[in-house]
Chains A and B, each alone.
Chain A
């Protein structure tokens, strides 16, 4: 059974940093593109970033370019999202998802709240 378990969310002040992690199991992690998708206020979905199987390609939504970095460790079956210079508008539930263009498997999400 495919499982994606996010962690690392929490409350952070504007300008702060967080690192989200996603532990993957039940499939050959190194064979799949992986992505982060966020959901704002329980409604609007927004694709954040994705990374190729071997990490040779990475893409980001314009609003996080230069602030967020997606990475992966295939030996540890883990996906990461390093978030710097956080803003109030980054407040959302962040989902780890398998794939690059459509997402069958989703984690439960981790809540990031950016507030002073």
Chain B
């Protein structure tokens, strides 16, 4: 059974870059899946951020696209999120997840990582 775990700094300064990594166990980022990021601001709903396919192809939320890069490191079985020029509005719990081929939705989620943007 696949397991996902987010890691990264819990505090980022305004105008800085938010960087998170999702480590995959019980599966491989080279499998035919989409690997995704979703966030949830405090007390609010879920927002889809973007995803990366095993081939390296990416899809991004248009509202974040100009600040966003999602990449994968096959040697470490990880995929990562980089969000530039952050503001307090980017404060959220960030989740990584998986979407298998021929499936629409996230069938596996990490436990989430809290990131606060503050000076």
**A-B interaction:** no
